[in-house]
Structure 1
């Protein structure tokens, strides 16, 4: 699995165009999403946000050919981790962690639920269950958890949806 950098806010359009124009070189092509709660018009609603803004994930057997084909597209796109025409795929543990966190069909990190007991967070439902040690910060007002992960060769903090039901 490889990661492509594309213009921010245009990830879904880039994904659709990649699938349409380069279907012979691209296997699976997706934009990871996460469910968050947003307040709109006085009501809390579930919405999907991009998990990694500006990035599209692809599987391919011919990364050099794909990288060459990206130059012919009408928008900027490049393979992340490419140095001197050598492209680096995501590490197996990065792929495994991403697949464990996301729904396989929709590539979406679903909303998690939990409680705060003292200064400990206990997740009892959702993909963050068992990942409590990775949570670095919680914003209870925006219903978000900031989770630390290793991706693209560095440590990143991503925002995912977390509903804290109670604080004891």
Structure 2
């Protein structure tokens, strides 16, 4: 089993005051990546936030899912991807991964999740 960071270049911070957070981060500007608008704080849309919380749970860890493919349609029977089969855009059975489309994102915005396909018919 291989473990990787889902968002290796990101730090997620919950705050009620994004402006105050940005002010506190200003001395670190040379080490941080700013958005196109120049902001150091990138707001995560609430739909994406709920999606990530549902996938990763309280431990903030995306576990491996298991499933099968029948008639070309993936069916997930165990793990965080249960019920999210319609979001799966591509499955790599060799690497045991799936590209899962993010909600409210730009078309083509994917999350790489672990998915083991145990059978295909």
Compute the TM-score of the two structures, normalised by the length of structure 2.
0.83
Any idea what SS the aligned residue of 1:72 has?
helix
Deviation at 1:96, TM superposition (A): 1.2
Counterparts of 1:15-164 in structure 2, within 5 Å, are 46-73=1-28, 76-77=31-32, 80=35, 83=37, 89-104=43-58, 106-150=59-103, 153-155=105-107, 156-164=109-117
Deviation at 1:53, TM superposition (A): 3.0
Q: Which 5+ residue runs of structure 2 have no aligned equivalent?
A: none
Number of matched pairs: 119
Q: Which 5+ residue runs of structure 1 have no aligned equivalent?
A: 1-45
The structure richer in strand per residue is: 1
RMSD: 2.4
Deviation at 1:76, TM superposition (A): 1.6
Any idea what SS the aligned residue of 1:56 has?
coil
Any idea what SS the aligned residue of 2:12 has?
strand
Q: Which consecutive segments of 4 or more residues in structure 1 shift more than 3 A?
A: 78-81
